[in-house]
A and B are shown apart, each in its own frame.
Chain A
Amino acid sequence: GSGSAEQLDALVKKDKVVVFLKGTPEQPQCGFSNAVVQILRLHGVRDYAAYNVLDDPQLRQGIKDYSNWPTIPQVYLDGEFVGGCDILLQMHQNGDLVEELKKLGIRSALLDEKKDQDS
């Protein structure tokens, strides 16, 4: 099925930024999933893989088993589980997200914003 550990392991490692959401980035169907989408948008992260657990009950349960995390949304950076919406928000607020994206070779749009403000 689509929820096996092997398949999910491959899925979270296939792209640098991977999120599991209720809904899609274009049409999130949960406020917490939307928060993840908006944070990534703020940082200018456009190329990320998003999987809609509402489309696939096996995926919905499988990803919770894989990460041993009981809720959706789930965020993976560089193949590693980072946390849900609360943790991503914290990382966004304290600057950790900019740093983690930099490690992945992704330049956060917020750095360019700051540059404009300074000049």
Chain B
Amino acid sequence: GTIGPVEAAIRTKLEQALNPEVLELRNESGGHAVPPGSETHFRVAVVSSRFEGLSPLQRHRLVHAALSEELAGPVHALAIQARTPAQWKENPQLDMSPPCLGGNKKTRGT
């Protein structure tokens, strides 16, 4: 499919912030209870030497910081694989996300 503006922005910002060797980005909105063409759920694999020596939490926070606007806005879910180049070499693939379970569409009431 076509790349939407949110996806393009995510890619640009992560490239600028983390100078990644590899950046794999997948719009997973189609697998969730949102309208077609949505840009709300993403999965990203970022491979950067800037992650060396950082805990998983620290790495994820770096990614969040780069995408603070998107995460405060349209992006509801962001699955992150933050790897150093050596780690990526061991397992160079974007994982699968678990299936959607409906979200708050299932609940009714106040």
A contacts, CB < 8 Å to B: 22-23, 28-35, 54-55, 68-71, 81-87, 90-91
Contacts and interface: CB of A to CB of B under 8 A. Distances in A.
A30 B60 contact: no
Contacts of A71: 71, 76-78
B98 A87 contact: no
Contact of A83 (B57, B71, B99): B57
B64 A90 contact: no
B97 A32 contact: yes
Given A32-B77, A70-B72, A83-B56, 8 more contacts: A23-B101, A31-B99, A33-B101, A54-B107, A71-B76, A71-B78, A83-B60, A87-B57
Which size bracket describes the interface of B in this complex?
Answer: 20 to 34
Given A29-B101, A29-B102, A71-B71, A86 B107 contact: no
Nearest to B68: A70
Contacts of B57: 81-83, 87
Given A71-B71, A86-B81, A31 B60 contact: no
Interface in B96-110: 97-104, 106-107
B67 to A, nearest CB: 8
Given A29-B106, A31-B100, A86 B79 contact: yes
Contacts of B60: 83-84, 86-87
Nearest to A28: B101
A55 B80 CA distance: 26
Contacts of B56: 83, 86-87, 90-91
B71 A30 contact: no
24 contacts: A22-B103, A23-B106, A29-B103, A29-B104, A30-B100, A31-B97, A31-B98, A31-B100, A31-B101, A32-B77, A34-B98, A34-B101, A35-B98, A55-B107, A68-B61, A69-B64, A70-B64, A70-B68, A70-B78, A71-B71, A83-B60, A86-B60, A86-B80, A90-B56
A33 B10 CA distance: 24
Contacts of A90: 56
Instruction: Name the residue in A31, A33, A82, A83 with the highest tally of chain B Cβ atoms < 10 Å from its Cβ.
Output: A31
